């Protein structure tokens, strides 16, 4: 807790001064985060111990993890920019729950810098995980949509489509896997035709994968050929 408030105060003080890294206070050239902090951010590279499909831990003898074996995920695979850990999870928390909208550019830049190293091609369509309109009113923005900031400036060919969240679902945080699946079922609507399209779903944090799997299911119902999930952080 003390570390948390220390970190908060530090961020508050430094965010106003763009020429200093918001994580370590080193002077930078107009970057919010310095090169050393950027390279030290946690990212779990794929290995024989990670599931190629959902990035969960598995034994080297298994082809896919138990999770993928037991659950019929509707996406092809998950690609993550970072692991869900300090300090990025705190920065995201500040953005989502304390209205620190000034962190969106940083998170978007970090997101695309790491994702672009892991992909071979760009999708036809991008769909950020939508928030229910009630939640959107309270928060004022959708963090998954905000992650697209950098991408929109670089690529004009990929279509960005809005899905609708018609169920104001309970927080998934304290629910079991089965309860999460039940909670999120039929929560999304997509009106666009996705016939034959390569679709990417953007989410800030993927935990069990039930939300993005349900949205992937709707994409497939609309005709999508292939659905991938690109997230800022993968919580395992
Ligand atoms: Zn730094
Ligand atoms: Zn898996």
Confidence (pLDDT) at 195: 98
100, 92 in Cβ contact below 8 A? no
pTM of the model: 0.87
Do 10 and 99 belong to one domain?
no
Distance 71 CA to ligand 2 centre (A): 9
Distance 203 CA to ligand 1 centre (A): 25
105, 138 in Cβ contact below 8 A? no
Do 36 and 62 belong to one domain?
no
CATH number assigned to the domain comprising residue 62: 3.40.50
Confidence (pLDDT) at 9: 52
Number of domains in the chain: 2
Do 70 and 100 belong to one domain?
yes
Distance 17 CA to ligand 1 centre (A): 13
Do 57 and 36 belong to one domain?
no
Do 95 and 28 belong to one domain?
no
Q: What is the pLDDT along the chain (236 residues), one digit of tens a residue?
A: 444 554 555 455 445 445 788 788 888 877 778 888 888 887 767 788 999 999 999 999 998 998 898 877 999 999 999 999 988 999 999 999 998 888 898 899 899 989 988 998 899 999 999 999 999 999 999 999 999 988 877 677 899 999 999 998 877 777 887 888 888 999 999 999 999 999 999 999 999 899 999 999 999 999 999 999 999 999 98
Q: How far, in Å, CA of 178 to CA of 168, rounded?
A: 18
Distance 207 CA to ligand 2 centre (A): 12
Give the closest residue to 219 by CA, choosing from 184, 192, 187, 181.
Answer: 192
Do 22 and 134 belong to one domain?
no
Do 19 and 35 belong to one domain?
yes
Do 35 and 52 belong to one domain?
no
Give the closest residue to 180 by CA, choosing from 18, 85, 67, 81.
Answer: 67
Do 15 and 110 belong to one domain?
no
Do 156 and 50 belong to one domain?
yes
- SS3 letters across the chain: CHHHHHHHHHHHHHCCCCCECCCCCCECCCCCCCHHHHHHCCCCCCCCCECCCCCCECCCCCCCCHHHHHCCCCCCEEEEEEECCCCHHHHHHHHHHCCCHHHHHHHHHHHHHHHCCCCCCCCCEEEECCCCHHHHHHHCCCHHHHCCHHHHHHCCCCEECCCEECCCCCCCCCCCHHHHHHHHCCCEECCCCCCCCEEEEEEEEECCCHHHHHHHHHHHHCCCCEEEEEEEEECC
Distance 66 CA to ligand 2 centre (A): 7
Q: Which domain holds residue 14?
A: 1-40
| Ligand index nearest the alpha carbon of residue 55 | 2
Q: How far, in Å, CA of 204 to CA of 148, rounded?
A: 11
Do 29 and 146 belong to one domain?
no
Distance 57 CA to ligand 2 centre (A): 8
For residue 137, what are the contacts with CB-CB under 8 A and spacing of at least 6? none
Distance 179 CA to ligand 2 centre (A): 19
The dihedral sign for the CA sequence 229, 127, 186, 231: positive
Do 191 and 131 belong to one domain?
yes
């Amino acid at each position: 807790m003390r570390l948390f408030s220390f970190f908060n105060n530090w961020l508050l003080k430094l965010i106003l001064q763009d020429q200093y890294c918001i994580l370590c206070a080193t002077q930078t050239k107009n970057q919010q985060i310095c090169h050393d902090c950027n390279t030290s951010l946690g990212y779990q590279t794929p290995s024989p111990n990670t599931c190629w499909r959902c990035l969960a831990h598995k034994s080297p003898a298994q082809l896919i993890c138990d999770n993928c074996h037991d659950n019929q995920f509707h996406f092809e695979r998950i690609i993550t920019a970072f692991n869900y850990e300090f300090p990025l999870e705190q920065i995201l928390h500040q953005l989502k729950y304390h209205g620190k909208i000034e962190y969106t550019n940083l998170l978007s830049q970090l997101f695309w810098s790491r994702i672009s190293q892991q992909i071979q091609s760009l999708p036809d369509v991008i769909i950020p995980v939508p928030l229910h309109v009630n939640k959107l009113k309270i928060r004022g923005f959708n963090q998954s949509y905000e992650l697209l900031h950098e991408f929109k400036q670089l690529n004009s060919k990929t279509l960005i489509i809005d899905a609708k969240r018609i169920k104001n679902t309970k927080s998934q945080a304290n629910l079991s896997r089965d309860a999460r699946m039940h909670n999120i079922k039929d929560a999304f609507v997509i009106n666009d035709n996705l016939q034959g399209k390569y679709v990417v779903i953007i989410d800030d944090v993927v935990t069990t994968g039930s939300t993005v799997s349900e949205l992937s299911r709707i994409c497939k119902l609309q005709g999508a050929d292939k659905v991938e999930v690109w997230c800022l952080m993968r919580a395992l």
